[in-house]
Amino acid sequence: MAKNTSQSFAGRLASLDILRGFDLFMLVFFQPVFMKLARTLDWPSLKPIMYQLSHEPWEGFRCWDMVMPLFMFMAGAAMPFSLSKYKNNPTALWRKVIKRFIILFILGMIGQGNLLGLDPNDVHLYVNTLQAIGAGYVISAFILTNFRWKGQILATILLLIIYWIPMTFCGDWTPTGNFAYKVDQLIMGRFCGDPEYTWIWSSLTFGVTVMLGAFAGQIMKNGKSNRFQTSLILGVVGVVLTVAGLLWSVQMPIIKHIWTCSMTLFAGGISFLLMALFYFVVDCLGWSKGLNWLKIYGMNSIVAYMIGEYVNFRSVVDSVSYGLKQYLGEAGYSTWLVFGNCLIVFLILRWMYKQRIFIKV
């Protein structure tokens, strides 16, 4: 745990924290509350929004499929800033990288790996977003510390090619016929989670997603003297990657579940465009009014993710507001419990933000 001083707090790149906060706010507040309310109201006009706020079952892409790639992209975007202090101390750098990987891996097992169930037969090893970030973080740290700019680009392209070859020639694009699924089954066996999601072989493209964020971070870190030009570069790269992903999807479909190359580039392109927008508005124009509250989520993103996704405060809400049930009805009261749960998460994060308590791994 780290308690930041006001000086270090003020020196952060605001757009990074605000965009990360936007991603986490959508995940742990807006989407669960909106979806519950929409199901309660059952208005036809809300159906298109509900569609976009749910995951694509397999091939294709919806807005909600951006949450995980953007989270990973933002982890990469922070790396050029966070690792720069270890430039002349590789031992300390790799101590930090390995420590972060281990913590993220354990948190992932707690979140979706059933680790706290204490049942060895129900434990899943590698099944969570935080673990994917950890894998991508290690890969990206290796690339960033061993190659210069051009070498980093070539290494990232190589990751895509290595992933692409067996995926194209040693399987198909079905949930159980793809190569990545076979690798997970071979290595993890019964310790796999949802068989439609793949992790071990997909770690290669997880690494690409985090590296794309690291490229964005380097662009911003090196472009402080001309922020308008920097935001333009971010936008152009975003357009190029998005188009490249769509073109690649003709051969390799966009499938988030197995993190295909086309999905990686497409989601990476959208992440670049979002980063360009937030960087231009917040850091270039200085228009952060009305957005700074998102830092409450963005500066404690791991805490927001863990307690927002896996800690249930509904019983607390129910114990102090059960009298509302007679007025709201069953469905309305159920919606209120979801809102109250998300509100408690927000209040915890807000208190931590006010106290300048930021949990880092």
Token pair recorded at residue 4: 């930041």
**What are the structural domain ranges in the chain?**
2-53+60-358
State residue 192's pLDDT score.
87
For the entire predicted model, the pTM comes to: 0.94
Residue 10, pLDDT > 80, answer no
What backbone phi and psi angles, to 5 degrees, belong to 255? -135, 105
What is the SS3 assignment for 230? helix
CA distance linking residue 309 with residue 319, whole number of Å: 21
Helix (H) or strand (E) holding 154: helix 149-169
In angstroms, rounded to a whole number, what is the distance separating the alpha carbons of residues 298 and 267?
Answer: 20
Strands (E), 145-302: none
Residue 295 three-state SS: helix
Query: Which helix (H) or strand (E) is 2 found in, with range?
Result: strand 2-3
**356 pLDDT exceeds 90?**
yes
Query: For residue range 202-231, what is the model confidence (pLDDT) as tens digits?
Result: 999 999 999 999 999 999 999 878 999 999
User: Is residue 4's pLDDT more than 60?
Assistant: no
What lies within 8 Å, CB to CB, of 309 at 6+ separation is: 27, 28, 111
Give the model's confidence band at 357: pLDDT under 50 very low, under 70 low, under 90 confident, else very high. Answer: very high
Q: Where are the alpha helices (DSSP H) in 249-310?
A: 261-278, 295-298, 301-310
Write out pLDDT tens, residues 151-206. 999 999 999 999 999 999 999 999 999 999 999 999 999 888 788 899 999 999 99
Question: Is it the case that residue 8 has pLDDT exceeding 60?
Answer: no
* Torsion, Cα of 109, 76, 22, 196 (10° steps): -40
Tell me the per-residue pLDDT of 287-320, one tens digit each, with 9 for 90 and over: 999 999 999 999 999 999 999 999 999 999 999 9
pLDDT band at 324 (very low <50, low <70, confident <90, very high): very high
What tokens does 27 get? 């995940």
Q: Name every residue whose Cβ is closer than 8 Å to that of residue 276 and which is 6 or more positions away in sequence.
A: 231, 232, 234, 235, 238
Q: How far apart are CA 205 and CA 138, in angstroms?
A: 13
Distance CA 243, CA 159 (A): 19
